[in-house]
Amino acid sequence: MPPSTNPRPPSRPSRPSHRSTLSLQKTEITIHVYDLLPPGKLSNALWALGTSLLHSGVVLNNKEYAYGGHDRPNLTGVYWTKPLTLPPGGTFRTEILHGFTLATEAEIDSIIRKASEEFLGTSYNLLTKNCNHFTSYLCEKLTGRPGPGWLNRAASIGVALPCVVPREWIEAPDFETHGNSGGGGLLEEESGDEYGEGSRMLRGSDEVPRLVGQEGRRWEGEGNNTHKGKGKARDEEGRVLPRAERAPTS
């Protein structure tokens, strides 16, 4: 008589673990940082001290989200561009891996939509509600941690000590000029690329910035004196916005 054997329990169908299911939803959150001061000793010194005038954008799923000001009521100032699109007069400084989010694509879209309602173009303020405040806000909503505080150190100093902060710390140069032109013609006018903050595309790119929720429109700047030189966009306290601080509007 053959020896008895213990019967094996019936096998259960394998199911993916909770951890592996969540890992499929993980999305990288990256911050791109740009220096808005002209390259040189001043900008290098301020960068080393952590007090430079900076622009930042949050990269999600191959789109870089940022915030700029404009004069259109009830219209968001949040827009997206191709990652590493240089703002007018800006220089790329660094990339920061801020973290990851386990939110689904639909949840991420909802967070961005709510942020776009919170950050209207007419609410833009160079010192208290700028592109770096938006970066910090969006990072916190996505990961539970705000963006690095040093991104807005110059603005924080400007709020605390407005009388001693150099103008260049809160107002980047409005235009770049030709080195071989006595009058210094405007590069942006020559190229015809007159969008807002983060608007000047890298050479050879045919993409333009898109306001969140307005992706079906192509922003040509027609009829908008903000970008045609007929007027100057201002923040909510009346400070003139450099082109690097303007969102695209039509």
Task: Return the number of other C-beta atoms located less than 10 Å from residue 76's C-beta.
Answer: 23
**Contact assessment for residue 162 and residue 156, using Cβ atoms and an 8 Å cutoff:** no
- pLDDT of the chain along its 250 residues, tens only? 555 555 565 555 555 555 455 456 799 999 999 998 889 998 899 888 888 889 999 999 999 999 999 989 999 999 999 999 998 888 999 999 999 999 999 999 999 999 999 999 999 998 899 999 999 999 999 999 999 999 988 777 655 444 444 554 445 444 443 333 333 332 333 333 444 443 333 333 445 778 888 765 554 443 333 333 345 778 777 877 778 778 887 5
pLDDT of residue 221: 41
H-helix or E-strand spanning residue 32:
strand 27-35
Length of the chain: 250
Which residues are the active-site residues? Answer: 55, 131
pLDDT of residue 49: 86
**Contact assessment for residue 135 and residue 56, using Cβ atoms and an 8 Å cutoff:** yes
**Three-state secondary-structure class, residue 206:** coil
DSSP E strands, 116-236: 210-211
Token duo for residue 229: 């030189």
Q: Which residue has the tokens 């191959």?
A: 62
pLDDT of residue 51: 83
H-helix or E-strand spanning residue 155:
helix 153-160
Q: For residues 80 and 58, what is the distance between their CA atoms, to the nearest angstrom?
A: 9
Please state the pTM of the whole predicted model: 0.70
**Contact assessment for residue 248 and residue 196, using Cβ atoms and an 8 Å cutoff:** yes
As a whole number of Å, the CA-based R_g of the chain is: 23
pLDDT of residue 213: 80
pLDDT of residue 12: 58
Angle ∠(243,179,43) on CA atoms, nearest 5: 55
